[in-house]
Amino acid sequence: MVPCASPVSGHSCGPCSAAPRVLRSGQAGSAMLAVLIYRRHAHWATLLRLFPAVAVGVVAGTAFMMWADDAAVRTSIGAILLFMAGVTIWRRRPAAAGREATEESGEPPMRGSGRLKARSYGVLGGFTTMVANVGGPVMSLQLLSAGFRKLGFLGTSAWIFLIVNTCKVPFSVGLGLIGARSLLLDACMLLFVLPGAYIGRRCVDRINQQLFEQLVIGATVIGGLQLLLR
């Protein structure tokens, strides 16, 4: 399982669509599976810095969903994804050489400006994951910009989304986005999640760091375009 930006997430948009009702409750289960696989590679200092900002974003996203329609959600989230992808590409150019010395599961530095950037990504990640289940791309870009290598990226993001998606459940229930039918569909989706997790784990060791980062950024751009062009 490679919990990163996915173009599929572009389809789980809008407070009134069927997809979020299924994905909101099922994401906690898939994140738990990712944690079981990559738990030893998490960077807890980064997690602790991100969680307060993510919580603010989740609350803001809940308030936004009370009045926003599907068109407003798609436009706002698509624009956020494309903007953040552009910022990430621009900022990564001078940092490319410095990342080469980082260990595969190493801990990236986090200085003053880095902390501010992490909080900004955290708020946006919480907002987008609450509104349209696309917090993955935003948080993935944050981890890439912080210099995480593959396993550190996967372990840290797995814990982020296990905790965030679990905390989202009460908000989603209150908004009527989770019910008995969605939980039944989530159980059926496990039939696809399990083989996907196995294939992803086998593939991650065969993908080099540069290709891994390109896939994350490319999937984010595709997801943003899907939202804007729907």
Cβ burial of 56 (10 Å; 0-12, 13-18, 19+) is middle
212 vs 206: CA distance, rounded Å:
10
Which residue type is seen at 212?
Answer: F
Q: Which residue has the tokens 């760091």?
A: 209
Q: What is the CA radius of gyration of the chain?
A: 16
The Cα-based distances of 9 to 3, 106, 133, 209 in angstroms read 11, 28, 7, 23
What pLDDT was estimated at residue 213?
87
Per-residue confidence in pLDDT tens, the chain, 230 aa: 444 433 333 334 444 444 444 455 556 667 788 888 888 888 888 888 888 888 898 888 888 888 878 888 888 888 888 988 888 888 776 555 454 444 444 455 455 556 777 788 888 888 887 777 666 788 888 888 778 888 889 889 888 888 887 877 777 777 776 767 777 777 777 777 788 888 888 888 888 888 888 888 998 899 888 888 87
The DSSP symbol for 93 reads T
Tell me, yes or no, if the pTM score tops 0.85.
Answer: no
Cβ-proximal residues to 144 (8 Å cutoff; 6+ apart), any chain = 88, 92, 153, 213, 216, 217
Tokens of 162: 């296990």
Q: Which residue has the tokens 């943003």?
A: 224
What pLDDT was estimated at residue 10?
35
